[in-house]
A = this chain, B = another copy of it.
Amino acid sequence: MTQLEAAKKGIITEEMKYVAREEEISVEELAELIKTGKVIIPKNINHQDCKPTGIGKKLKTKVNTNLGTSSDLVDSEEELEKLRVALEVKTDTVMDLSTGGNLDEIRKTIIGNCPVPLGTVPIYQAAIESKRKGVPVVEMDPDYLFEVIEKHGKDGVDFITVHCGVTQETWGRLEREGRELGVVSRGGAFLIAWMRYNKQENPLFEQYDRLLEIALKYDMTLSLGDGIRPGCLADATDRGQIQELIIIGELVKRAQEAGVQVMVEGPGHVPINQIKTNIELEKYLCNEAPFYVLGPVVTDIAPGYDHIVSAIGGALAASYGADFLCYVTPAEHLCLPTVEHVRDGVIAARIAAHAADIAKGIKSSWEWDLEMARARKALDWEKQIQLAIDPAKAREYREQRPPQEEDVCTMCGEYCAIKMLR
């Protein structure tokens, strides 16, 4: 039974109890939110020792870390180190997006070391392994894609990105409008190339019931991917993007009716003044299903700093109601991230999520800031460091330039305002 089916039957699961405690919300209210599809607990029945994590309305904003090999860089040790660091700085979930090396082996190793929900994008593996067997992506057998999805379910993957909304209708709208940068989603690009070559509908849309069946069996949450997400500000909120969102809204309903947990993925590159509309549209069109956004990236011109760019967009998106932020690292648009980039990306996204949670009125988030304010008032530096989102970094900076008097810092020294007015 999935968490959604349980909620529909009025059953309170252990996972619901755990999440309710974590989120300081009554389990009855939580069960109602799950029942109506506004909250999910992505947890595959085969993922052992996975922390139950709630995503959605009235809960703390969650942060996802992408990792995985690429065709150019295959170093599974480095990816495991990224996993370790991401967990150390408290990512809520992880996605294995590997596209290089032995994909089954890498995924299984990551799942075995991942105590938080794990996501994948099965079409990567299906397309890449087809190609390795000498079958071009455009000639890939759709049945093979479903086999891979089944395998991910069996292995314990908690949520999968499936670009079911990339249909002939969506693609037609996009083509008629025209775009500066076209399609930047890899899954979306695989599917569009396949659809164009075969002059057929997207198999993930056409055989959606088959997908639901697999998802139901493992309580594997569907993350309906935005294959048409804008890759630059100029393409944001265009007719293609919103057409896909409308179709996703219909698919959300079908998933929920089938008892399958589901969330919606969102953009992408979006100017600050369009973020509110994007969040509200998802909420209206998809019946408040949890919204999982990538960024948003609020300017195209800052490669090397896209963790900051996305912290701006993510904080704003979450304050308007986005539930789940996919981190972006400083390496975005330039290269596969290093371990250090992963650390910086997770912390930036957590700052964005936390700042938004204060705006959302999450009590425990507010209390954390209040404790810090009181430690500052008390000039209690040890407490300030302990309360910092990254205590090691805060300590390093303070010790790098130690003050002459222990109760102040080298910024203001003896002219510390707080000390002066005591």
The chain A residues found within 8 Å of chain B, CB to CB, are 70-73, 99-100, 124, 127-128, 137, 180-186, 188-190, 192-193, 231-235, 271-273, 298-305, 307-309, 311-312, 315-316, 319, 330-338, 347-348, 351-352, 354-356, 358-359, 366, 368-370, 372-374, 376-377, 384-385, 387-390, 393-394, 396-398, 400-401, 403-404, 409-418, 420-421
Contact = CB atoms under 8 A, between A and B. Distances in A.
A239 to B, nearest CB: 18
B72 A347 contact: no
Given A232-B370, A331-B397, A336-B410, 8 more contacts: A71-B414, A180-B377, A231-B417, A232-B373, A233-B370, A272-B315, A298-B358, A300-B373
A71 B369 contact: no
A336 B302 contact: no
A421 B182 contact: yes
Contacts of A301: 354, 368-369, 372, 387-389
A312 B332 CA distance: 19
A373 B234 contact: yes
Contacts of A311: 308, 311-312
Contact of A411 (B192, B304, B332, B356): B332
A202 to B, nearest CB: 15
B389 A334 contact: no
A39 B359 CA distance: 32
A70 B388 contact: no
Nearest to A373: B232
Main secondary structure of the interface of A (DSSP, over half): helix
B304 A71 contact: no
B335 A413 contact: no
Contacts of A347: 305
A294 to B, nearest CB: 13
A396 B341 CA distance: 13
A390 B334 contact: no
B304 A372 contact: no
B315 A312 contact: yes
Contacts of A234: 369-370, 373
A219 B316 CA distance: 39
A305 B232 contact: no
12 contacts: A71-B404, A73-B401, A182-B421, A183-B417, A233-B370, A234-B369, A272-B315, A303-B384, A304-B396, A305-B351, A312-B352, A338-B400
A420 B189 contact: yes
Given A308-B351, A413-B72, A300 B369 contact: yes
Nearest to A348: B308
Contacts of A421: 182-183, 189, 192-193
Contacts of A396: 304
Nearest to A99: B415
Contact of A302 (B235, B338, B388, B415): B388
A185 B417 contact: yes
B299 A354 contact: yes
Contacts of A411: 70, 331-337
A401 B233 contact: no
Contact of A298 (B235, B355, B372): B355
A232 B301 CA distance: 32
Nearest to A124: B415
Nearest to A390: B304
